[in-house]
Structure 1
Amino acid sequence: MEWKPKGWITLLLGILLPPFAFLYVNQGTLFWRYFLLSLVVAVLDYVLHKSIPPSHWLNYVYLNWLFTLVCAVHAYLLCRAYSTQKVRRWYAKWWAIPAIFTIFYSLVFLFRAFCYEPFSIPATSMNPTLKVGEYIIVKKWGFGDYGSYGVTLNNTQVKDESMLQRGEIYVFYPPDSETPYVKRLIGLPGDTIVIEGDVITVNGKVLRTEFLRVDDDNKIYREFLGDKNYLIQRNPNRPVGVFQTVEVPAHHYFFLGDNRDNSRDSRFWGTVSTADFVGEVAMVLAL
């Protein structure tokens, strides 16, 4: 039986699911080309908007809008010129697009839930290491909190606590919070943490710092913790001025933000249980 794609379905798919419109009009090669192009456009949108001031009108314009329009128009023109003599491939049949879409995004969801998930940095608490607007890729396997897009599939404790290392950066849920935080791990179970303003002592050893430079009103230091070192910043005009001694309980961890005078961390809401970890920061996308 001769078959020809319908124009209104083609336009609808071109607007709602841009690359998938080409499957419907029996053009598998164009589907992959447009799919790869959509990834390039997404990256370009991210890079361009990162450099535009928040208040500028261009911050509300996206290349993806033009991409969607081009995709829909191209697919519609192919639909109008479609030859009924062409063999209809399996991916152009009525059940194929819902099936492909469901399988593809199910795999994406499972990958984000169990393996790696991107997060954006919304605040300055980890300056100068992580800046607002940057993306981090979080390794989740082994940390027990498996889910994505607000859906939790499983939530247990960290599988092996030896994977939690001082000086590394982790994502977790602070006590009594449903918002994930990203901070640097300073204290392990059994540690004694003493904080006296700018001076931090771990098990009797003061964390050594080395002054590097001044950025605006902030002083940038290199801090040394065991065999690791990283950058921190302090604002002498508004120091936090916390004085406390913390004994880190079993299966709990003590975190600090690298922006020491502008960070809500374990100095304020206490230690973090192994049941509240999301994962470890594996990569920073600083485009």
Structure 2
Amino acid sequence: MNTEWKPNNWIAVLFGVLFQPFVFLYVNRPRYFFYYLALTLGCIFLTQYPISAALFSEGGKAQYWPYAITIACAIHAYILSSNYDVSQKRSWCARWWTTLLCVIAVYSSVFLTKTFFYDVYSIPAASMSPALNPGDYVVVSKHGYGNYSYAGIPVWQSKSTQTVQRGDIIVFRKPENETTDFIKRVIAGPGDKIYYQHKRLYLTRACDGCSEYELIDNVEIDNAAKSEFSMYQETLDGQLYTIQQNTSKPEFIQHYYRQQGMRLGEWLVPAGHYFVMGDNRDNSLDSRYWGFVPEQNIVGKAVYIF
């Protein structure tokens, strides 16, 4: 049924400034919503690639793209509302309150998903190379780990119901620096004993009758003939991954975290804690240097890397 309805020009401008693509739902042009949304996502996508990131970074020619899109949405929405054809069919979303509900629904979904289920983290450093390199992104499953936050702001804390396995890559808050998220590989869990010497990893699992150290399988796949790094395939509880070592760099054993009653370079993981290391063994500030990760500090587990 046709109605004699016309969008308000100034509501259109306000929505264009505040909600960008969503304004086109209000002015009854939903296809423009998808056009501008695709444009916004495309710009975000381009900022992640080195070939175009310089254009969108501070000082780059395209650094003002968010403001340009906002202004374009506001002006375009004003033009469409001013020239609105009152004879056209009015969509269900062409009301200020339904548009507002769409905004709330979308942002609430994003908030709940990123807080309680899945979030995407960027990798800024090479401590987890070669598995994770600077510029990579990792999808982290957060559900069940109990340490829920959004954009680094704590939202909810509960008891963890997930099982952390040796070999898992986890995101966590480092003790005494709980404002920053870190990502490392779990090497040992509660009750396990670790010994790291001459860049080799030894593990005694927490189990009845387990008292002898086991040398973790470590097979060289690329030596340092052409570079200073050697690659090894390490196998831990059935998980196969590649580690990187700098053959010219000595062990900084004098800087290792010293646990009372243990030798230097040897650690016994306390109950409710985990021992983590970076795959780039000679370029990783991890549990060897500052100790153990409390279970309540674990944010989630890496499930997909891109």
Structure 2 partner of 1:86: 88
Query: Which of 280, 283, 289 pairs up with 1:268?
Result: 289
Structure 2 partner of 1:113: 115
How far off is 1:50 after superposition?
A: 6.6
Quick check: 1:222 aligned with 2:245?
no
Q: Is the 8 A contact 2:167 2:239 kept in 1?
A: yes
Instruction: Find the aligned partners of 1:213 and 1:55 in 2 and give their Cα distance.
Output: 38
Query: Which of 209, 215, 240 pairs up with 2:219?
Result: 209
Instruction: Find the aligned partners of 1:91 and 1:44 in 2 and give their Cα distance.
Output: 31
Equivalenced residue count is 283
Q: Is the 8 A contact 1:172 1:181 kept in 2?
A: yes
How far off is 1:81 after superposition?
A: 2.1
Instruction: Return 232-241 or 261-270, whichever deviates more.
Output: 232-241
Q: Is the 8 A contact 1:125 1:260 kept in 2?
A: yes
Instruction: Return 149-158 or 71-80, whichever deviates more.
Output: 71-80
Instruction: Find the aligned partners of 1:266 and 1:138 in 2 and give their Cα distance.
Output: 21
Instruction: Return 25-34 or 98-107, whichever deviates more.
Output: 25-34
Q: Is the 8 A contact 2:57 2:63 kept in 1?
A: no
Instruction: Find the aligned partners of 1:82 and 1:180 in 2 and give their Cα distance.
Output: 49
How far off is 1:58 after superposition?
A: 4.4
Q: Is the 8 A contact 2:47 2:53 kept in 1?
A: no
Quick check: 1:30 aligned with 2:43?
no
Structure 1 partner of 2:258: none
Q: 1:205 to 1:259 in 2, by over 3 A?
A: same
Instruction: Return 270-279 or 211-220, whichever deviates more.
Output: 211-220
Q: Is the 8 A contact 2:188 2:269 kept in 1?
A: yes
Query: What is the Cα-based RMSD across aligned positions, in Å?
Result: 2.9
Amino acid at match of 1:206: L
Where has structure 1 moved over 6 Å in runs of 4 or more?
Answer: 53-56
Gaps of 5+ in 1: none
Instruction: Return 240-249 or 138-147, whichever deviates more.
Output: 240-249
Q: Is the 8 A contact 2:55 2:63 kept in 1?
A: no
How far off is 1:245 after superposition?
A: 0.7
Q: 1:6 to 1:53 in 2, by over 3 A?
A: closer
Instruction: Find the aligned partners of 1:277 and 1:42 in 2 and give their Cα distance.
Output: 28
Instruction: Find the aligned partners of 1:50 and 1:209 in 2 and give their Cα distance.
Output: 38
Instruction: Return 165-174 or 212-221, whichever deviates more.
Output: 212-221
Amino acid at match of 1:17: F
Instruction: Find the aligned partners of 2:136 and 2:173 in 1 and give their Cα distance.
Output: 20
How far off is 1:147 after superposition?
A: 2.5
**TM-score between both structures, scaled by the size of structure 2:** 0.80
Structure 2 partner of 1:232: 243
- Which of these two proteins has the greater Rg computed from alpha carbons? 2
Amino acid at match of 1:200: L
* Cα displacement string for residues 88-144 of structure 1 (whole angstroms, at most 9, x for unaligned residues): 434222222322211211111111111111111122211111111211110011111
Instruction: Find the aligned partners of 1:237 and 1:53 in 2 and give their Cα distance.
Output: 38
Q: 1:3 to 1:55 in 2, by over 3 A?
A: closer
Amino acid at match of 2:220: E
* Cα displacement string for residues 158-204 of structure 1 (whole angstroms, at most 9, x for unaligned residues): 2143xx11112011112112111100010121111001141211121
Instruction: Find the aligned partners of 1:147 and 1:25 in 2 and give their Cα distance.
Output: 35
Amino acid at match of 1:267: R
Instruction: Return 88-97 or 222-231, whichever deviates more.
Output: 88-97
**TM-score between both structures, scaled by the size of structure 1:** 0.85
Q: Secondary structure of the residue that 1:89 maps to in structure 2? A: coil
How far off is 1:38 after superposition?
A: 3.3
Instruction: Return 13-22 or 199-208, whichever deviates more.
Output: 13-22
Instruction: Find the aligned partners of 2:161 and 2:61 in 1 and give their Cα distance.
Output: 42
